[in-house]
Amino acid sequence: MPELPEVETIRRSIALPLQGQIIKAVIVREPRLRWSVPNTLTACLLGQSIQDIQRRGKYLLFQCEQGHLLIHLGMSGNLRLLPAKTPVKKHDHLDIVFHNELCLRYHDPRRFGCVLWTSDPVSQHPLLMNLGLEPLEPDFTGDYLYRLAQQRKVPIKTYIMNSRIVVGVGNIYANESLFLASIHPTKPSGQINLERYQCLAKSIQQVLSTAIESGGTTLRDFMDSAGNPGYFKPLLQIYGRTGQPCNQCGNPIQQQQLAQRVTYYCSTCQG
DNA sequence: AAAAGGACCTGGTGGC
DNA sequence: TGCCACCAGGTCCTTT
């Protein structure tokens, strides 16, 4: 479900209400996520307060006094901030209850996400230590993308979805960014020149920033922690628009499978 | 070292 | 209405 803009939208909607809140209880109803919820989680979290909530790629990092709670939402996860007594629904796998009687409720039908704890420096965590650059940080540039792409043959779309290169770019925003940069998704990443990469880096930043400002993309069920949908869907230029006219040239949008992901493009505009 | 494909899950949709 | 195949916003792991 959530790519970087959706995770960032959730982060922003919980950061202020949870800052300084003390954890009163942890309720694990279903520990079988992508990785099992550690059975020590309750003991780790109890009595601690949330000092800050950061994001790294699509991971949410809850900074506590003794370490970090690490949450990934996978394909179908979401987090809601609810009164602690709100009736539980199917797939509400975990609650973190605070002293103010609010709870952060993790819901994830497909269970591709995870809820983990680490008391080590969070950047050293095995799931985080090999991640590439944050696309909205200043060190993410066309030069960087160009340099790492040399000798590579993977299609550019697969390349920008590789989290060891750059984090947070999932299927929706990879398609959108390549359309904005007028680059064909199957073009081998090692055959793109520096100038095109500079354009692509800017396109990725623009698409992600605009999506964050819009509160993310709600295709089916994305919502922020208060239950609000995102408003970026009508701004999508290419994703999910097979057969519809390209907004730039009017020719029908094409679709093909690339690395097991649906890929949309305009064969006229994305030479 | 890089690329390709399978695996992990449930729910919604569309065809018959 | 029911059954079935197929598809979905992610990404790690194994194999080539």
Give the model's pLDDT for residue A78.
Answer: 97
Give the model's pLDDT for residue A261.
Answer: 96
Distance A58 CA to C10 C1' (A): 9
Distance CA A8, CA A15 (A): 10
Give the model's pLDDT for residue A40.
Answer: 97
Told to judge if A233 belongs to the known catalytic residues of this protein, a careful annotator would answer no
- Binding residues of A for DNA are 91, 110, 152
Distance A158 CA to B2 C1' (A): 12
Give the model's pLDDT for residue A91.
Answer: 98
Whole-number Cα distances in Å, A196 to A21, A141, A202: 46, 11, 10
**Tens of pLDDT along chain A (271 residues)?**
699 999 999 999 999 999 999 999 999 999 999 999 999 999 999 999 999 999 999 999 999 999 999 999 999 999 999 999 999 999 999 999 999 999 999 999 999 999 999 999 999 999 999 999 999 999 999 999 999 999 999 999 999 999 999 999 999 999 999 999 999 999 999 999 999 999 999 999 999 999 999 999 999 999 999 999 999 999 999 999 999 999 999 999 999 999 999 999 999 999 8
Asked if strand C comes closer than 7 Å to A113 Cβ, the answer is no
Say if CB A169 and CB A161 are below 8 A apart.
Answer: yes
Distance CA A262, CA A22 (A): 43
- Binding residues of A are 91, 110, 152
Told to judge if A31 belongs to the known catalytic residues of this protein, a careful annotator would answer no
A16 CB contacts (<8 Å, ≥6 apart)?
none
Q: What is the DSSP string of A66-94?
A: S-EEEEE-TTT-EEEEEETTSPP-TTEEE
Give the model's pLDDT for residue A51.
Answer: 98
For the domain made up of A4-124, give the CATH fold. N-terminal domain of MutM-like DNA repair proteins (3.20.190)
Give the model's pLDDT for residue A30.
Answer: 98
Give the model's pLDDT for residue A271.
Answer: 85
Asked if strand C comes closer than 7 Å to A224 Cβ, the answer is no
Told to judge if A3 belongs to the known catalytic residues of this protein, a careful annotator would answer yes
Asked if strand C comes closer than 7 Å to A75 Cβ, the answer is yes
Distance CA A229, CA A6 (A): 10
Q: Which CATH number is A142-265's, of 2.30.110.10, 3.40.50.11900, 3.20.20.70, 1.10.8.50?
A: 1.10.8.50
Q: Identity (one letter) of the amino acid at A248?
A: Q
- Strand B nucleotides within 7 Å of a protein CB: 2-12
A192 CB contacts (<8 Å, ≥6 apart)?
A146, A149, A156, A183, A200
Q: Identity (one letter) of the amino acid at A175?
A: N
Point out the catalytic residue in the list A11, A58, A157, A196. Answer: A58
List alpha helices for chain A, DSSP H: 4-18, 41-45, 142-149, 156-160, 171-180, 194-213
Distance CA A53, CA A19 (A): 8
Distance CA A15, CA A17 (A): 6
- Unique residue bearing structure tokens 């925003």: A173
Give the model's pLDDT for residue A2.
Answer: 95
Write out residues whose CB is closer than 7 A to strand B.
A 32, 34, 75-76, 90-91, 109-112, 151-155, 158, 189-190, 220, 259-260
Domain coordinates of chain A in residue numbers? 4-124, 142-265
Which among A239, A184, A232 has a CA at the least distance from the CA of A206? A232
Quote the distance between the C-alpha of residue A35 and its chain's center. 18
